[in-house]
Each structure stands twice: as structure tokens, then as C-alpha cells.
Amino acid sequence: MKKEILNLLKETEGYVSGQDLCDRFQVSRTAVWKAIRQLEEEGYEIEGVRNRGYRLNSCPDRLTEEELGPLITGKWAGRPVFYCPEVSSTNDLAKQLASEGCPHGTLVTAERQTAGRGRRGRTWVSPKGESVYMSLVLRPKLPPSSASMVTLVAAMAVAAGLKKTAGIDGQIKWPNDLVTGGRKISGILTEMSAELDCIHYVIIGIGINVGQKEFPEELAGCATSLRMETGQPVNRCRVAAAVMEAFEEYYEKYEKAGDMSLLMEEYNRELAGMGGRVRVLAPGGEYCGISKGIDREGRLLVDREDGSREAVASGEVSVRGLYGYV
């Protein structure tokens, strides 16, 4: 009923009388009042005037089904939206929903994460209200060996979403960090449940710094936000919806080809440090070389000083000029 009241208030320019709400939804005045109070607690500004009724003055920028759902334009990516104000990690909740059978395209969002995770066991600090924290559930019809490419597809979608909603020309630090002006603005954590020959599900966890005006000292040199880059507040729901729209488009190309061949040209145009010096921390040791962009399998090609070419499938790659690598 709360959702129906909200929809009616959204559709109505002026006031809706309390009596109208009672009649339409066949509920008591107290029930209407309680629903209005709940909406106010969720951040909706509702004006109540005696003898006139209720009027919706503003909606919160929260990644809820009510606010984000209507902005999702594609067929499946971000349908449905599953919002939780506070969660350990949206990836954890997405895994739980996936193992319970939720559909391909389900998007889990949160306002705050109490145990946000980054790649390689790092922590993703996730305070309330400033960022997008979201995890997309996918059920790819591809072998497990192809799954790592999904993360590159997601990086392209984030780059497109940031461009569309904030005019930011982000660059991708292989495989999937988004950087602008040498600072990180978004990170992606991909996790998978699979057997040797089949994927059960993949979770793409995306964190985007949106509203921060500054970062704590230890992050200040290497992190930035859309607000800091544009000098303007940016709507989180619009960002999340634009990323989903782009993801659906890119993912369908990736799925059609079964690899990055339809996307690698664009990916390489957005690749940070393309043609420049990189340092690779490979399981067998560290080496330097020149970045030649990704191949159709999504591996980073690196030309070594001895003239040999490596195709890096995993590992840490430092790009000259980023995150303190000079």
C-alpha cells in the first residue's frame, strides 16, 4: 500500500486528500498516516496540510526499487532491483539470492556496507549515502574459463555510465578499475560459483564514488568521486541506471561472440597506459614492459624488453603515472 500511495503522490501535481487515499486503497486514516510516516523516514519530503491533504515535494536519491526501478530501461540488467539499506556486502546478498534462484539480471543495491570487499582480499570502505554499491547477478551460458571477461565488460559499462551521467572521460586500468585524472573512481569485484564445465552464477560487484567531497588522508592521493571531478552533485540512481543500460548492450555483444572480439577495440581506446610502460606482478616474478592492449580473450598483452610478448591473464599490473607508480 505504501508503494501505491507513493505512486499516486508522484502522479499528482497538487495535493491528494487523506480521504481519497483511504477510499482508493480501502484503509483507515491511521494506516495512511503510518505509510506517509514510513515514506518520510525513507527520505521522501511530504507536505501535509489540513483540509487539503498530502503533497510530494521531493524524492530521495536512494537506490531503491521505487526510485531506481523506473529508470532501468533495458530488458534484463537491473530487473528486479533488490534494495537493502544496510548489508555486509551486496556481493554476499547477491550470492544468497542467486543460490535461491533469482533471475539473471537481478541487481542488489545498498546504502551502506558493513564489510565491503575489494579485490585480493582488500577492504572496500563503504560509508552511508555517498556511493553506489551494487551487485549484478548473471547466469552466463558460457564456460567458466570465459567468466573473467565479464569483468572487462562491466568496466566498459561503468565508463559509459560515467560519461553519460557526469560527462567524465574515465579510463580503464586493466582489468577493471575506473580512473580519472590518475585517481580511482570505481572498482569492480567479480565472484563466481561454478563447476569445472559450467557456471552456476557470476556476481559483478560495482562500487562507484559519487558524492564524496573529500577522502580520508590515506586515500586522498589515489581516490576521487564524480562530485569532486564535476564540482556538482550527481544523482546516484541515474548513474546506476546508465551503467545497467550500457552493461546490457556490451554483455550481449560479448555473449554473441563468446569473447571480447566485438569489444576489444573500444576497450583498448579506453585503456589507461596503452602503449606506455607497465609493471607486471606475475606469480613467477615481476617484470616491466610496454602495454599493447587486450586480446580477444581479455588478456593484457605486454611486450618485454627482451622482445618477447606476454599475455597476462591475471595478476597485478601497475601503470606508470597511476597510484604512485613513476
**Judged by CB, which is closer to ligand BTN: 73, or 114?**
114
**Judged by CB, which is closer to ligand BTN: 133, or 254?**
133
DSSP 271: B
State the Cα–Cα distance between residues 19 and 7, nearest whole angstrom.
17
Q: How far is the CB of 104 from ligand BTN (least distance, A)?
A: 18
- Longest Cα–Cα distance in the chain: 83
Q: How far is the CB of 204 from ligand BTN (least distance, A)?
A: 9
State the Cα–Cα distance between residues 280 and 16, nearest whole angstrom.
62
By residue count, the chain amounts to 326
Q: How far is the CB of 124 from ligand BTN (least distance, A)?
A: 4
Q: How far is the CB of 118 from ligand BTN (least distance, A)?
A: 3
Q: In the set 18, 78, 105, 116, which binds ligand BTN (CB under 6 A)?
A: 116
Q: 283 phi and psi, to 5 degrees? A: -55, -35
**Which 253-272 residues touch ligand BTN, going by CB under 6 A?**
none
Q: Of the listed pieces 9-17, 35-43, 74-82, 116-124, which binds ligand BTN according to CB under 6 A?
A: 116-124
The closest of 301, 299, 300, 303 to 289, measured between CA atoms, is 303
**Which residue lies nearest ligand BTN, judged by its C-beta?**
187
**Which 46-105 residues touch ligand BTN, going by CB under 6 A?**
89-91
Q: In the set 10, 37, 52, 122, which binds ligand BTN (CB under 6 A)?
A: 122
Angle (deg, nearest 10), helices 236-257 and 148-166 = 140
| Burial (CB count within 10 angstroms: exposed 0-12, middle 13-18, buried 19+), residue 326 | exposed
State the Cα–Cα distance between residues 304 and 287, nearest whole angstrom.
8
Residue 170 in contact with ligand BTN, rule: CB under 6 A: no
H or E segment at 189? strand 183-194
Cell (9 digits) for 260: 571480447
Q: In the set 44, 82, 124, 174, which binds ligand BTN (CB under 6 A)?
A: 124
Q: How far is the CB of 177 from ligand BTN (least distance, A)?
A: 6
Q: In the set 34, 55, 119, 279, which binds ligand BTN (CB under 6 A)?
A: 119
**Which 171-200 residues touch ligand BTN, going by CB under 6 A?**
177, 187-189
Angle (deg, nearest 10), helices 18-25 and 29-41 = 110
Q: In the set 44, 133, 201, 267, which binds ligand BTN (CB under 6 A)?
A: 133
Q: Of the listed pieces 11-19, 20-28, 115-123, 238-246, which binds ligand BTN according to CB under 6 A?
A: 115-123
**Which 193-252 residues touch ligand BTN, going by CB under 6 A?**
205-207
* Alpha carbon separation from 110 to 74, 91, 94, 163, 206 (Å, rounded): 21, 10, 11, 23, 11
- Pairing relationship of beta strands 177-180 and 171-173 according to DSSP bridges: antiparallel
State the Cα–Cα distance between residues 21 and 286, nearest whole angstrom.
67
Q: In the set 118, 144, 182, 321, which binds ligand BTN (CB under 6 A)?
A: 118
Peptide bond preceding 175: is omega within 30 degrees of 0, i.e. cis? yes
Residue 117 in contact with ligand BTN, rule: CB under 6 A: yes
**Judged by CB, which is closer to ligand BTN: 3, or 122?**
122
Q: In the complex, which residues of this chain contact ligand BTN (CB under 6 A)?
A: 89-91, 113, 116-119, 122, 124, 133, 135, 177, 187-189, 205-207
